[in-house]
């Protein structure tokens, strides 16, 4: 369930990128869930052509998914197919991190691949011919040349690395369950009218999409660059899109490496990165697995890795929390990336508590974060060496701000004594932190838009325009850093 600030942020991103009309249609879908065309027109009070054009823009940029479901006509047995539209919140949020995607591809595949990816990010779904035409015209404008054959080679590399994937069919059909097909048409229709929540619809839509060629890449199947693949790339009418899932995985692994480097040193970062590169479990997004020989080989190919001994690598792998498993190919080391992300999340929350409430509150929260059971006020005061009165005040403050959970217990004896028990409810805390981050990102986005408007008004005043640009760049950098933390709690 996305919070209100999250919905406002997504709607704001669409409005700033595509205008008020498209933003209004998108916000309607975000707030009301899956809707038909007629329902969108009724709720937005826009004309049919305005809504249709807005939906086309959103589908073009993978921000809305269209799919068909069967519905009964009136009370009869006839079933009619109805097209529904669903906003893709995650894809909308990815528009915050396009610069990160471009940086990943440029580092991995080079500038030309980056330029091709930029075309898909700017214009949405395109055929290879459209991408090539855009790049050729751009090169001619810059005074250089680029042949379509060379562009095809670079595009092959993007597809092979799974940064780009073939678009699935535009309107998947959410079919009824097999058992429903055995019932009467009337019953089948009745069951399908109440398909359920948007999450169910999205899940079924994803299942249908996975049946088409583009969906196989989401299951991380290897893509062979052969004549057949090249023929698909140049085939007229075949649309391509950015594979957001691949980039999320890249950023997730990058965050894990950065955390390992920060906690355990440079060598730990090198070894974890080497293990990720030599990973043999392509289907598992939350763990990496590799043999010691492959890890050593990858480590030796990195700066500073040639001097690492076998024993040193083993020690670091143990510190990283690796486990051993026996396979037919031999003994494999496995590291749970989800556990590393959990450490990142905890560190982020503790840093927020330190910044917002001070060092004393940080010590109390850190103690509670490490406990598996509730703790009594006196015990917290004794362990943290903080006066009971101060401890009580901080605990109440953290509880009021939804950082802690509090329970009351009555002790029976010579008289009734009331005790307060404290703990961290991580699930609720994650939601609270995520909502705060959405709110902060929304505020930064609004400030950036306001400064852009001021820059347009100050075209004749060079000094003022430069001052505004400097402030905007600072805010944009802050938004990128905030998005790093946001991804920890939402995407990873």
Burial of 160 (0-12, 13-18, 19+ CB in 10 A): middle
Q: In this structure, how many other beta carbons lie within 10 angstroms of the beta carbon of residue 234?
A: 14
* Strand order, beta sheet including 405-411: 375-376, 417-423, 405-411
Specify the range with the lowest mean pLDDT, choosing from 46-55, 179-188, 322-331: 179-188
Pairing of strands 375-376, 330-336: unpaired
Q: Which residues pair with 420 in a beta bridge?
A: 408
Domain 247-339: CATH class, spelled out: mainly alpha
The pLDDT of residue 198 is above 80: no
Long-range CB pairs of 219-224 (<8 Å, 24+ gap) are: 219/283, 220/162, 220/282, 220/283, 222/282, 223/159, 223/160, 223/162
The pLDDT of residue 234 is above 90: no
Distance between start and end Cα atoms, the chain = 16
Give me the pLDDT at residue 207, please. Answer: 41
User: Between 210 and 305, whose confidence is greater?
Assistant: 305
Q: What is the DSSP letter of 110?
A: -
Nearest alpha carbon to residue 27 among 83, 98, 92: 92
Residues 6+ apart with CB under 8 A from 335: 272, 275, 287, 288, 289, 317, 320, 321, 322, 323
Give me the pLDDT at residue 393, please. Answer: 92
Q: Are 255 and 485 in contact (CB under 8 A)?
A: no
Give me the pLDDT at residue 181, please. Answer: 40
Q: Are 135 and 122 in contact (CB under 8 A)?
A: no
Distance (Å, whole) CA 374 – CA 225:
56
Give me the pLDDT at residue 279, please. Answer: 83
Cα 42 to Cα 28, 38, 48, 51, distances in angstroms:
10, 6, 10, 10
Distance (Å, whole) CA 90 – CA 439:
16
126 backbone dihedrals φ, ψ, rounded to 5°: -140, 155
Specify the range with the lowest mean pLDDT, choosing from 83-87, 139-143, 162-166, 209-213: 209-213
Q: Give the CA angle between residues 115, 116, 121 to the nearest 5°.
A: 90
What are the E-state strand segments in 63-191? 64-72, 79-87, 126-127, 164-166
Burial of 166 (0-12, 13-18, 19+ CB in 10 A): buried
For residue 40 the two structure tokens come to 């969108």
3-class secondary structure, 70: strand
296 backbone dihedrals φ, ψ, rounded to 5°: -60, -45
For the segment 427-451, the average pLDDT, to the nearest whole number, is: 92
306 backbone dihedrals φ, ψ, rounded to 5°: -65, -25
Give me the pLDDT at residue 172, please. Answer: 62
At which residue do the structure tokens 């999320």 appear?
Answer: 248
Please write the tens of the pLDDT for every residue from 277-291.
Answer: 888 776 677 888 888
Specify the range with the lowest mean pLDDT, choosing from 75-79, 215-219, 294-298, 482-486: 215-219
Please write the tens of the pLDDT for every residue from 362-398.
Answer: 999 999 998 888 889 989 999 989 999 999 999 999 9
State the alpha helices, DSSP H only, in 19-127: 20-32, 37-44, 48-60, 89-93, 98-109, 111-123
For 4-89+170-205, CATH number out of 3.40.120.10, 3.40.920.10, 1.10.10.10, 3.90.1490.10 equals 1.10.10.10
pTM for the structure as a whole: 0.78
| Domains 4-89+170-205 and 94-168+219-246 equal at CATH topology level | yes
Please give the mean pLDDT across all residues of the chain: 82
Give me the pLDDT at residue 134, please. Answer: 85
Give me the pLDDT at residue 329, please. Answer: 66
What is the number of residues in the chain? 492
3-class secondary structure, 75: coil
Distance (Å, whole) CA 93 – CA 102:
16
Please write the tens of the pLDDT for every residue from 114-136.
Answer: 999 999 999 999 999 888 888 88
45 conformational bin, left if phi > 0, alpha if psi -120 to 50, beta if neither: left
- Give Rg (Cα) of the chain: 27
Q: Does domain 94-168+219-246 have CATH number 3.90.1150.10?
A: no
Burial of 358 (0-12, 13-18, 19+ CB in 10 A): exposed
At which residue do the structure tokens 């090539």 appear?
Answer: 132
Distance (Å, whole) CA 81 – CA 84:
10
Q: What is the DSSP letter of 95?
A: G
Residues 6+ apart with CB under 8 A from 135: 115, 116, 119, 146, 151
pLDDT band of residue 215 (cuts 50, 70, 90) is very low
pLDDT band of residue 68 (cuts 50, 70, 90) is confident
Distance (Å, whole) CA 366 – CA 249:
29
User: Between 49 and 136, whose confidence is greater?
Assistant: 49
For residue 348 the two structure tokens come to 């982020």
Percent of the chain, pLDDT > 70?
A: 82
Distance (Å, whole) CA 420 – CA 437:
30
The pLDDT of residue 194 is above 60: no
Give me the pLDDT at residue 475, please. Answer: 94
Please write the tens of the pLDDT for every residue from 164-192.
Answer: 999 887 666 556 554 444 343 333 333 33
Q: Where are the domains of the chain?
A: 4-89+170-205, 94-168+219-246, 247-339, 373-424, 428-490
């Amino acid at each position: 369930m996305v919070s209100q600030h999250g919905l406002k942020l997504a709607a704001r991103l669409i409005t700033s990128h595509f205008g008020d009309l498209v933003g209004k249609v998108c916000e309607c879908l975000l707030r009301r869930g899956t809707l038909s065309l007629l329902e969108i027109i009724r709720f937005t009070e826009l004309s049919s052509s305005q809504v249709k054009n807005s939906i086309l823009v959103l589908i073009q940029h993978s921000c809305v998914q269209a799919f068909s479901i069967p519905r009964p006509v009136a009370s009869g047995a006839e079933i009619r197919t109805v097209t529904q539209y669903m906003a893709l919140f995650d894809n909308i949020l990815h528009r915050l991190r396009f610069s990160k995607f471009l940086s990943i591809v440029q580092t991995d595949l080079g500038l030309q691949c980056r330029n091709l990816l930029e075309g898909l990010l700017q214009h949405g779904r395109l055929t290879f011919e459209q991408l090539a035409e855009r790049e050729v015209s751009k090169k001619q404008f810059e005074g250089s040349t680029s042949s379509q054959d060379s562009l095809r080679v670079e595009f092959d590399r993007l597809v092979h690395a799974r940064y780009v994937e073939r678009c699935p069919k535009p309107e998947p059909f959410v079919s009824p369950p097999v058992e429903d097909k055995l019932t009467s048409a009337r019953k089948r229709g009745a069951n399908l009218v109440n398909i359920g929540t948007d999450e169910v619809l999205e899940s079924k839509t994803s299942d249908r999409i996975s049946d088409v060629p583009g969906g196989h890449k989401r299951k991380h199947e290897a893509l062979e660059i052969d004549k057949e693949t090249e023929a698909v790339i140049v085939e007229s009418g075949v649309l391509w899109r950015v594979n957001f899932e691949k980039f999320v995985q890249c950023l997730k692994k990058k965050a894990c490496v950065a955390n390992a480097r920060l906690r355990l040193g440079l060598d730990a970062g090198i070894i974890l990165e080497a293990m990720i590169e030599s990973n043999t479990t392509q289907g598992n997004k939350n763990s990496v697995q590799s043999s010691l020989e492959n890890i050593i080989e990858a480590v030796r190919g990195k700066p500073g890795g040639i001097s690492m001994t076998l024993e040193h690598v083993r020690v670091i792998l143990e510190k990283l929390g690796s486990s051993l498993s026996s396979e037919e190919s031999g003994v494999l080391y496995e590291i749970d990336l989800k556990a590393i992300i959990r450490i990142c999340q905890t560190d982020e929350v503790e840093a927020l508590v330190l910044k917002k409430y001070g060092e004393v509150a940080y010590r109390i929260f850190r103690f509670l974060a490490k406990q598996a059971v509730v703790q009594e006020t006196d015990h917290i005061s004794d362990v943290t060496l903080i006066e009971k009165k101060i401890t009580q005040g901080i605990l109440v403050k953290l509880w009021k701000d939804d950082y802690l959970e509090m329970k009351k217990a009555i002790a029976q004896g010579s008289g009734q004594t009331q005790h307060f028990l404290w703990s961290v409810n991580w699930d609720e805390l994650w939601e609270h932190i995520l909502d705060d981050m959405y709110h902060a990102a929304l505020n930064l986005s609004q400030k950036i838009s306001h400064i852009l408007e001021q820059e347009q008004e100050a075209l004749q005043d060079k000094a003022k325009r430069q001052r505004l640009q400097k402030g905007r760049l600072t805010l944009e950098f802050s938004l990128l850093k905030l998005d790093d933390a946001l991804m920890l709690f939402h995407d990873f």
